[in-house]
Amino acid sequence: MSTSLQAAARPGIAYENQLLGAFIYALGYESGRTGKPLPVNLFQQTPLDGTFGDLIAGGDWCVALEFKRSWPAARSERGKWPPANLQRYLEDKQMQDIAKKAHFLCFGAKDQDEITIGAMRYSAFLRDPEASKGQATRGTAMVDLLVNCTGLDRQTSPLGVAPRVLESYLRRLSVMRKLMGSGEPPAQWLAVASTAQGYRIRSADSLEQLLDMPKTRSRERSAELDRTPEHKKSFDRER
């Protein structure tokens, strides 16, 4: 690929932050190199910034990228899923349809003295980690795809689902993960919303923070976030 996407290891900064920063930099670099304008409004995590709802307001489609510091860190997460929850996720067709277009896993990979980024669909990773690793693309391919999708609507873009559909998916995913018993797995998140004015992006230190959720949530929330007929109708209508 044409874009260089590397993260230099710097003391005191989490690897996930470095990977995410390198990804955002590469996104801007590739946009300039190819002459494709890519207006970006970055929502940072401060008390004055907008919520996840503000990020996706007026958006046509959205994607979420989850950054893990390394492949072993990503792979270890799958082993923490209770078998019943994992099976439930993998057998839920709507969850899988959403994940294929809108939830991607990125991880750091050491290449000689540099840290590069690999990328894959999260659903493929959970289904078969080793097979998906063999099919993973470099992070530059994800950058190129986002640049090439600039200005495309939801019907023509190979990426993304309707904003509220993605939000519902992520909230259900958060509940499933918390049932692991060890809390939310460490990761950096990047949400991208495509609007008529360009991309809005928001980074967060956890899925909870991305969605503006309280840090603790009871298991009873699982039942509330189960897919309902209304959820199915909304997904079918908006996707």
Helix (H) or strand (E) holding 166: helix 163-178
CA within 13 Å, CB half, 114: 9
Confidence class for position 177, pLDDT limits 50, 70, 90: confident
- The strand pair at 103-111 and 61-68 is best described as parallel
Confidence class for position 218, pLDDT limits 50, 70, 90: very low
Is the model's pLDDT at 154 over the cut of 60? yes
Is the model's pLDDT at 180 over the cut of 80? no
pTM: 0.79
Confidence class for position 236, pLDDT limits 50, 70, 90: low
Predicted local confidence at residue 44, as pLDDT:
53
Is the model's pLDDT at 24 over the cut of 80? yes
Is the model's pLDDT at 219 over the cut of 60? no
Alpha-carbon gap, residue 207 to 211, rounded angstroms: 6
Most confident of 15-29, 35-49, 147-161, 200-214: 147-161
Q: Output 221 or 81, whichever has higher pLDDT.
A: 81
Predicted local confidence at residue 40, as pLDDT:
64
Alpha-carbon gap, residue 63 to 229, rounded angstroms: 24
Mean pLDDT, residues 44-55: 62
Mean pLDDT, residues 40-54: 60
Is the model's pLDDT at 223 over the cut of 50? no
**Three-state helix/strand/coil letters over the chain:** CCCCCEECCCCCCCHHHHHHHHHHHHHHHHHHHHCCCCCEEEECCCCCCCCHHHHHCCCCEEEEEEEECCHHHHHHHHCCCCHHHHHHHHHCHHHHHHHHHHEEEEEEEEECCEEEEEEEEHHHHHHCHHHHHHHCEEHHHHHHHHHHCCCCCCCCCCCCECHHHHHHHHHHHHHHHHCCCCCCCCCEEEEEEEECCEEEEEEECCHHHHCCCCCCCCCCHHHHCCCCHHHHHHHHHHC
